[in-house]
Amino acid sequence: MEQIYLRDARKAVDKNYVGFTPNGSSIKPVHIAGGSLRCIFGYYNRTKNIKRMALVSDSKGNIPAGNEADIIYSQLAKDEKIEDSISENSIESMRNVMQRLLSVDKGVYVVKGLKDGMISYSAGSKYFLTSRAMYEDAGEFMGSLIRAYCPDLANYIRDLLESGNDPITLLFGPVLEADMEVFSDQNQHEDLPAFQELNKSTKWFINSIRDGGACLLDNFRHHPNPLTQLRQFNFFCIINLIRYMTLLEALYCGENIRPILLDFSGKIPSFSSVARMSEMSYTQMYKSINRFYAWGYAKWLDEQGYSKEELLNSETPAYEKGKTVSKASKDELDALWTLAKERASEVDGESMYLEFGETMYDMLALEASSHPVTYIRALGTSAGVLYPPDQLHPNKRFVISQDILEMLLRSCVSSGEIISGMEIRQRLWDRFGIIIGGSQFEMQMLQSSGMIMQIDEDALEENFSLFAATLESMDFAEVMADGILQIRMGGAEK
């Protein structure tokens, strides 16, 4: 039989079942913004003048050829974009401010060649929508979901990008170009089996996007700042992207939905049962991702037509054709594949393929520079969803930033609406799969997920009290004289 290449299997699973490529430990929120906004708007811009004006230097101090201060100043003067009284030093100072503005979401810049494929940033209008770049396919996928299942929100975001009346766009006004090109790949999710034959979990996920997006849109219509709205929208995309990845096993294999337990204890796991349980909910999620990919690789082996006899007599898979590995790595991979053969020899059908699929996932984790779990971990920590934010602690827990918390609230509570503590628990679960407290309903969700209980209801209810105190400090809630929590969002109709 032909040599099995692990990279081919991973590409096939990502294309046929996931819809994008969740690989890369350098994924940032700005990549999700770039992809989702481009997909929703349906056009992108070459942004050549923006790059020349704002890209003063990279993190190492390198200045792109043609971006030197004197050249930029001469070009602006020649094009009559500045008055005679403006000095070169003033222009250079303004350019530094421009770069800091575009870098507010940790924009990515590569000086060499100023290639579109390696430049990403988020800003407030269509003029800043770049062509496809590395890591942005996940954002495009989320944009396609929101276009399909929450079209009113997508149309609102599109109008926001079209208007271009935010401060950043106005600052760049003299050098903006409307050299727009069509982006046609706006329905990436439609070919995936999960969205063709909807099971219970897929319907739940779609409804959560629809309901959460509609509520977020209502708050946007009462919010004065377009840049803040786009930032909140990006967080909405990110949290739903993370949920989608952790739901893949439920979407394709019919498994239970894994809850997200938010930790408000402010303590490390060794001193907090809630922190330990939040850490466990993260662990359950990445194990669910592992199992989904093992299933996907098993399906790929079956679809390739490999028989049990062929697999039992096959050579150890290689990562890709022509790639060499060290003797130590080869010995480790050979040992893994031999063990897979031993287990598979005792079973048939799906179980046989699954033994090899699980081993292929383990081998990819060893051979590839990154894999889906590191991708989710990198995005979650940089977006303010997972904690601790450093590489020294691979076991994360769900400790969210105030920006993420505000987005969750605006996706659950309409402008001017007042809801109770029990209602916010229900909506957080229905729209994001989130658990905070220890109510009977929340305990049922935790138990139905198969989570091993290590904390009691009192500890969870204390966690909810800390959540309520956080909302009070943000002026989004108050505890009434009778002890009832009331949550409300402000805002005035624009």
Better-scored residue on pLDDT, 128 or 140 = 140
Q: Report the alpha-carbon distance of residue 262 to residue 405 in Å, rounded.
A: 10
Tell me what pLDDT residue 409 has: 98
Tell me what pLDDT residue 402 has: 96
Highest mean pLDDT (candidates 102-106, 150-154, 279-283): 150-154
> What one-letter code names the amino acid at 102?
L
Is the torsion defined by CA of 400, 402, 408, 412 positive or negative?
Answer: positive
Find out whether 180 and 44 touch, Cβ atoms under 8 Å: yes
Strand pairing report for 180-182 and 43-45: antiparallel
Which tens digit of pLDDT belongs to each residue from 69-122?
A: 999 999 999 988 889 899 999 999 999 888 888 776 666 554 554 555 445 666
Q: Report the alpha-carbon distance of residue 423 to residue 420 in Å, rounded.
A: 5
Find out whether 433 and 243 touch, Cβ atoms under 8 Å: yes
Q: What ranges make up the beta strands (E) of 159-300? A: 180-182, 260-261
Structure tokens at 91: 């222009």
Q: Report the alpha-carbon distance of residue 468 to residue 479 in Å, rounded.
A: 8
Better-scored residue on pLDDT, 69 or 481 = 69
Q: Report the alpha-carbon distance of residue 119 to residue 50 in Å, rounded.
A: 11
Q: Report the alpha-carbon distance of residue 186 to residue 209 in Å, rounded.
A: 17
Which tens digit of pLDDT belongs to each residue from 222-240?
A: 999 998 999 999 999 999 9
Better-scored residue on pLDDT, 419 or 100 = 419
Mean confidence (pLDDT) of the chain? 90
Percent of the chain clearing pLDDT 90 (strictly above)? 66
Query: pLDDT at residue 163 above 60?
Result: yes
Number of helices (H) and strands (E) in the chain: give both, helices first.
Answer: 19, 7
Structure tokens at 95: 């350019």
What contacts 234, CB < 8 A, 6 or more positions away?
29, 32, 33, 36, 105, 122
Better-scored residue on pLDDT, 59 or 395 = 395
Dump the DSSP string for 255-271.
Answer: PPPPPEEB--S-S-GGG
The number of beta carbons lying within 10 Å of the beta carbon of residue 402 is 11
Query: pLDDT at residue 33 above 50?
Result: yes
Using alpha carbons, list the distances in angstroms from residue 488 to 235, 395, 491.
Answer: 20, 34, 10
Q: Report the alpha-carbon distance of residue 241 to residue 87 in Å, rounded.
A: 46
Dump the DSSP string for 69-84.
Answer: HHHHHHHHHHTT-S-T
Better-scored residue on pLDDT, 21 or 51 = 21
Find out whether 460 and 438 touch, Cβ atoms under 8 Å: yes
Query: pLDDT at residue 46 above 80?
Result: no
Tell me what pLDDT residue 119 has: 59
User: Which of 324-333, 347-356, 446-455 shows the lowest per-residue confidence on average (mean pLDDT)?
Assistant: 446-455
pLDDT confidence band for 455 (50 / 70 / 90): low
- The residue-averaged pLDDT of 162-172 equals 88
Tell me what pLDDT residue 137 has: 95
DSSP 127: G
Q: What ranges make up the beta strands (E) of 117-226? A: 180-182
- The residue-averaged pLDDT of 145-156 equals 98
The DSSP bridge partners found for residue 311 are none
Using alpha carbons, list the distances in angstroms from residue 165 to 115, 168, 173.
Answer: 27, 8, 10
- What is the pTM assigned to this prediction? 0.93
Find out whether 147 and 210 touch, Cβ atoms under 8 Å: no
What contacts 460, CB < 8 A, 6 or more positions away?
274, 436, 437, 438, 442, 443
Query: pLDDT at residue 36 above 70?
Result: yes
Tell me what pLDDT residue 113 has: 47
Query: pLDDT at residue 492 above 50?
Result: no
Query: pLDDT at residue 49 above 50?
Result: yes
- The residue-averaged pLDDT of 183-194 equals 91
What contacts 272, CB < 8 A, 6 or more positions away?
263, 265
> What one-letter code names the amino acid at 440?
Q
Query: pLDDT at residue 35 above 50?
Result: yes
